[in-house]
């Protein structure tokens, strides 16, 4: 098993040493641990600090954002044969000593994604409002993903190779929520591990304030949800419209059949408007369903392309064993 620990960083020269020092040197079930720092156009000495600790560095000449950095890190790790990728932050918020526990469910084939649950209700420097919002946000993400996860915004996570081949980060901003919703909808196994975060080293750089966090997270969540369950949203719009249209329409018909149609034209107009709305919604539903089929085909294609591009470097992979046997056979034949 080859493990990559990746740390996306923007100007983290002060706290990065703490992070790098606390990454364990050996982990049960893991043969090789590699540390990758994605330096997203830092203007400080982040890259030098990372290299001085023996970490690999992937540098963007210009800041490209956290989601892109995550993706590039994953690309690098997969291309170098990672079986598991752990993500942690450069501000030493997360307890790197717990990486062994974080990766264990993946090693034991019990999970594809493991999320470090910060137990946000117990964090002292979180205000009651922030705690409530964290809980609410996690509930919404859990609902959208069809799983039950206590801490959806945590950046301390382990992903299996199979999960990374299947997940595609498309939003610019937060891959955190997006990967969970995708993983849930792609029926990957997601579990949580309770962790205790380290003392706060600085304010969040991702968000100016709680409102911005809520706005951006809400946008990322609704986008991901819309991508996977558009039928639910359209159904909730279309079905009430259909009912609201049929009732006055039927009412008009009854009066009309009794020869009193003229006095009830309002019912007819309202009913017709609602029915047209419902019809449009159902027409959209058909288009959306076709789109969904296309997305599934595209995603399956991408997964296969990634598998080809990165090679099946997984240990214990049947293809690899077969390749080894074939190679051994060829050598034997040649001699």
Ligand X SMILES: Nc1nc2c(ncn2[C@@H]2O[C@H](COP(=O)(O)OP(=O)(O)O)[C@@H](O)[C@H]2O)c(=O)[nH]1
Which residues here bind ligand X, judged by CB under 6 A?
8-10, 12, 40, 63, 65-66, 69, 89-91, 93, 155, 204-207
Please tell me whether residue 151 binds Mg ion under the rule CB under 5 A. no
117 binds Mg ion, rule: CB under 5 A: no
Q: Which H/E stretch holds residue 57? A: strand 56-60
CB 200 to ligand X: min, Å: 9
* Angle at 144 (CA atoms; ends 143, 148), nearest 5 degrees: 40
The binder of 155, among ligand X, Mg ion, none, by C-beta within 5 to 8 A per type, is ligand X
Which residue, 94 or 252, has its beta carbon nearer to Mg ion? 94
| Residue 247 near residue 167 (C-beta atoms within 8 A) | no
**Among 81, 60, 44, residue whose Cα is nearest residue 8:** 60
Query: Distance between CA 99 and CA 158 in Å, rounded?
Result: 8
DSSP letter for 199, please: P
Tell me, what DSSP letter sits at residue 126?
A: S
Q: Measured from the CB atom, is 46 or 267 closer to ligand X?
A: 46
CB of 155 to Mg ion, least distance (A): 7
Question: Phi, psi at residue 152, to the nearest 5°?
Answer: -80, -20
Shortest distance in whole angstroms from residue 120 CB to ligand X: 12
> Least Å distance between CB 11 and ligand X?
7
Residue 93 binds Mg ion, judged by CB under 5 A: yes
Q: Closer to ligand X at the Cβ: 137 or 271? A: 137
Report how far residue 19's alpha carbon sits from residue 26's, in angstroms, rounded to the nearest whole number.
16
Q: Is 12 in the site for Mg ion (CB under 5 A)?
A: no
By C-beta, is 9 or 183 nearer to ligand X?
9
- Please tell me whether residue 92 binds Mg ion under the rule CB under 5 A: no
Pairing of strands 113-117, 32-40: unpaired
Instruction: Give the residue with the Cβ less far from Mg ion, 39 or 91.
Output: 91
Q: How many Cβ atoms from other residues are within 10 Å of residue 205's Cβ?
A: 12
In angstroms, what is the C-alpha Rg of the chain? Answer: 26
Q: List the single partner that 65 binds among ligand X, Mg ion, none, CB under 5 to 8 Å by kind.
A: ligand X
Among 12, 39, 83, 91, binds Mg ion (CB under 5 A): 91
Q: How far apart, in whole angstroms, are the C-alpha atoms of residue 12 and residue 295? A: 37
> CB 116 → ligand X: shortest distance, Å?
12
- The partner in contact with residue 248, picked from ligand X, Mg ion, none with C-beta cut-offs of 5 to 8 angstroms by kind, is none
Angle at which helix 210-228 crosses helix 175-185, to 10 degrees, equals 30
Residue nearer to ligand X on the CB measure, 12 or 178: 12
Please, what is the minimum distance in Å from the beta carbon of residue 293 to ligand X?
A: 34
State residue 296 phi and psi, 5-degree precision: -60, -45
178 belongs to the binding site for Mg ion (CB under 5 A) = no
H or E segment and range at residue 90: none
Kindly state the smallest distance separating residue 123's Cβ from ligand X, in Å.
11
Q: 14 or 303: whose CB is closer to Mg ion? A: 14
């Amino acid at each position: 098993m080859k493990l990559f620990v990746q740390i996306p960083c923007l100007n983290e020269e002060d706290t990065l040493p703490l992070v790098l020092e606390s990454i364990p040197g050996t982990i049960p079930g893991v043969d090789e641990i590699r540390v990758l720092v994605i330096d997203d156009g830092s203007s400080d000495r982040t890259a030098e600090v990372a290299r001085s600790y023996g970490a690999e560095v992937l540098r963007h000449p210009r800041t490209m954002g956290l989601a892109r950095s995550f993706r590039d890190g994953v690309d690098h790790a997969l291309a170098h044969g990672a079986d598991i990728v752990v993500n942690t932050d450069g501000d030493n918020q997360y307890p790197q000593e717990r990486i062994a526990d974080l990766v264990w469910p993946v090693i034991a084939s019990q999970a594809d994604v493991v999320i470090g649950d910060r137990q946000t209700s117990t964090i002292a420097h979180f205000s009651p409002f922030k705690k409530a919002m964290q809980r609410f946000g996690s509930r919404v993400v859990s609902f959208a993903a069809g799983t039950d996860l206590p801490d959806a915004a945590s950046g301390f996570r382990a992903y299996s190779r199979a999960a990374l081949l299947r997940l595609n980060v498309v939003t610019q901003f937060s891959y955190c929520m997006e990967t969970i919703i995708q993983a849930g909808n792609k029926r990957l196994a997601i579990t949580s591990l309770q962790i205790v975060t380290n003392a706060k080293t600085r304010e969040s750089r991702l968000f100016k304030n709680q409102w911005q966090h809520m706005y951006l997270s809400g946008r990322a969540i609704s986008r991901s949800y819309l991508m996977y369950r558009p039928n639910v949203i359209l159904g909730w719009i279309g079905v009430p419209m259909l009912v609201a249209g049929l009732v006055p329409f039927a009412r008009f018909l009854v009066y009309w059949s009794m020869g009193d149609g003229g006095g009830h034209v309002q019912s007819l107009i309202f009913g017709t408007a609602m029915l047209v709305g419902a019809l449009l919604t159902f027409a959209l539903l058909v288009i959306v369903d076709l789109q969904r089929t296309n997305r599934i085909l595209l995603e399956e294609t991408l997964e296969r392309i990634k598998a080809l591009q990165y090679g099946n470097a997984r240990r214990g992979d049947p293809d690899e064993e077969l390749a080894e046997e074939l190679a051994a056979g060829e050598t034997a034949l040649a001699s």
